[in-house]
Structure 1
Amino acid sequence: MTVAGTKNSAGAYVGAARVTVTADDGHGGSGVAGIAYSLDGGPYLAYTAPVVVDRAGRHTVAYRASDRAGNTSEPLTVSFTVVADGGVPAPNCPEYDERLTVLVGTVDSGVPNRVTNSRCRIGELIEDEKEWTSQALFLKHVKTVLDALEKEGVVDRREYRAINQAARQSGIGEPGQTDGYRKLLDGTQKSFGKWEHVGGGSFALNPDGSITSGTSRGGLGMLWFPERTYGDFSLKLQWRDDGPGTVNANSGVFVRFPQVHDHPEEPSPEWVAIKYGHEVQVFDSPTGDMYKTGSVYGFDRVGLAGAGVTQKGTWNDYEIRVVDQHYSVYRNGVLINEFDNIGGQDFTPPRSDDPGTDGRRFASGYVGLQVHSTTDVVSFRDVRIKEL
C-alpha cells in the first residue's frame, strides 16, 4: 500500500491523496482473488484502481485481500490528512460537520461520519441546526436522507436505525427546541461586512467562504460582531490552524465582553475584550503558552493532553455554551472544559491592571475572533449562535 501526493511541511497532503493497494498470496497459495477497501468506516468496496481522496480533513482507509480459496486477510489501515489547495471546489453541503461519528443535535449515533457520493459527510446532510417547527418534520427530513444513503450503500440497516434513533432522542423540533442557529458569518461578503475589526492584524474573506488572518499587518487584534449582545447562548464555529511550517497558530474566541468603543477604563478596543470578556483559547502547540485549546484564558487551564489536538490543516468544530456564569467548551463534539465564572478569581499569570473575574461577570455581551500576529495564521468559518 502506498499513499502519494504533494505534502506540506506538516505532513498533510495538499489537494488530494492517491492510495494504491497491492496484494500477493505468498508462495504456493491459491492466488489473490480480489482487494477491497473502506474509506472512513464506510462499506468495503471492490478495489479496481487507486483511490483518490480529495476532501479536506483526516481520513482512514482500511484494506483487505481475499484469495481464491475463500480466505480473507485481516484488514490493515492507513490514516492521513488532506488540506485544501484551492484546486478542488468545496462540496455544496447543507452544513459543515467533520466529526468522526454522526451526531444529531447532541446525541451520538455511533455511526462513522462517512463521506458520501456527494462528497458531503453524513452529518452534513442532516440539517439538525435548521429551524424545525415540529419533530415530525425533522424526522421526515432524516428519513429522506437515510433512505437515499441506504440505497447508495453508504449506510446499512443497523446504521439507519441508529441514526434514526439518535434523531428521535435529540428532541429537535419539539416545543422549546424549534429555534435553530442564527448565522453570524455565512461565507458571503454581506455577512463578513457586518463584522468590525479593531486593533492590529487583519482577516480576509476567502473564495470558499472562510476567513483567514493576514500575514502582512502586525499586532494583536479582533474581529467582532457589533450588531447585538447575547446572554445565554450556544456559539458554534469551525477553526483551522494554518500556521506556517511547524508553527501552531495562537488565537481565541471572545465572549461576553462589553462595547469596545469609549470604554471608561480601557482606551484600546481590542483590550476591552481581553480584560472584560473571556477568551476561549485556540492553541495546539506543545510548547509556548501554558493555556492550550479549550482553556478559559487566564483562569481555567486545559493542558495539551486534554485539548483534543488534531493535525494542523484540519477543520475543528468548536462550541462554547454560556448559561448564567457557567461556561462549557466542546471540540469536535467532546466536552473539553467547564468553568464557573464566580467572583474573586485572579488572572494567572498576574497582570497589574486586570480586573479578574469580578470585572467579567456580565449577564450578556458581544462575541469576537482573535488575531494574534502575522505568523499565528488561523481560519474561521460558519460562525452561528443560538440563544438558550
Structure 2
Amino acid sequence: MENEIQEIQQNIPDIMNVLANMTEFNYYVLIPFNDAESVQPLVTTNPYKLMDSLNELRGSGGKECPEDSLSAIQKALEISEPESYIFLFTDGNAKYVHQLWTIENLCRETRSQIVIFLTGSCSDRDPGGVGHIDVYYHIARSCSGTVFNIAAVNIRKAFKYIRNIVKTDYNRIVNHEPFAGYKEFNVVRVSNLKTGTYRATARSQGSAYVTFYMRNKLRFEYGFSPMFPNSLKETCLRPMPGRTNYILIALPEIENLKINEALLDFVGSNLTKRVMLYEHPTRKGCYTSSVLLEPGKAFRMTIIGKNITTYSDITGSTIIIQTQNQNIQAKYSSPTSEIIQPDTALIDYETNATLVCKVRGYPKPQIWWEDENRNTLKSEVSA
C-alpha cells in the first residue's frame, strides 16, 4: 500500500483546495487501517489538518492479506454526518463479511455514499491469502456508490473523480455492466442540461464500464398554518413562532414518487429536526405534518422523496425561512376579508360545507360567520 499512499499524498492538495472554499462540509474524517484493525480516527473541521495527517501516514509490511477494511467503513458511517461522502482506498480483499448487514443498514439510515478504489487483491501479493472481494460490490450497490478497480499509478485520476463528485450533490447513480477489473477510467462532466432525452456513447478497445451520476432536484411549494390546511391559499410562507404550525407541501404530479420526511436545518447551529410527512387526506400530491418552532429560529427545509421504482432519493430545499416577527410596531389597518374555499359559493341544499377565509387588519379584528338571518355560525379562528 506504500505506493498508493504516496499517490494519495501527492494528489490530496487539489481536493483540499476545493473543499476549503465550500461550505457544505462540516467535518473531515480519516481512518487508517491494516490487516489487523483500524486505528483511532481523526475528526476535524479543518481540511488542511486532514491533509497534514495524511502526509504523516507510512505504509509498512504489505504482504499480509486480507485487510480489515469493513471495520473502517463501519466506523466511518458511525462517526460521520448523514449524507457524507466516504472514499475507501485499499489494495486487498476484505477480511470479514459479518459487518455487511450493519453497513447496509447504516447506509440506509445516513444516506451516505461509499466509493471504493481497489488497487489489488490478496491473490496479487499473497497466493495463500483468503478474504472477500465481492463484498465491496455489495456495499457499493447498497450505499449509492461504485467500485473502481484501478492500478496504483492511476490514483491521480481517482482524485479528478472525487473533485467532480463533491462539487455536486448527486442523488441518482446508475451503473452499466458489472465491473470486470478495468485499470483506467476517465471523468466527463456535462453541465447546464435542458429538459430532454440524451444519449451517451462509450467506445473502447476492450470492455467498458460506465457510471452515470445525476442530480434530480425536487421542486415543490410549501406553506405554514396554525390550523390544518386544505390548500396553499390557507397558508403563509413564514410560520408563527411559539406554537404548533402545520406544514403543507404541494408537489407536481410525478409518477413513482413517494415523499417520506422533511429536515429542518437551523441556521447558526448544528440542530436538525426531522419531521415525518403524511399524505393529505383529501388533496392529491400534498403532504402535511406539524412542528413547534421557537421565535427567531431561522431554518432551511429539505424535502426528501424516493423513486419507488429505482429506490433513488430525490431532494429539494427551500431558501432560509424566518419565523414571523411579532414584535414589529404595527399600524392601524382596516380589516379586509377574502373567501378562499370553496372555489364556488354555490352549495347544494341540505349538504355540509366548510368555508375558509383570510382576514387582514390591525388591531386584531373580531371575526364571525353569519347567515342571511344574522344567525352566528360555528367557526374557528387560527390566531
Q: Do the structures match in fold with TM over 0.5?
A: no
Relative contact order, CA 8 A, sep 6+: which one is greater? Answer: 1
Larger radius of gyration: 2
Task: Give the TM-score taking structure 1 as reference length.
Answer: 0.29
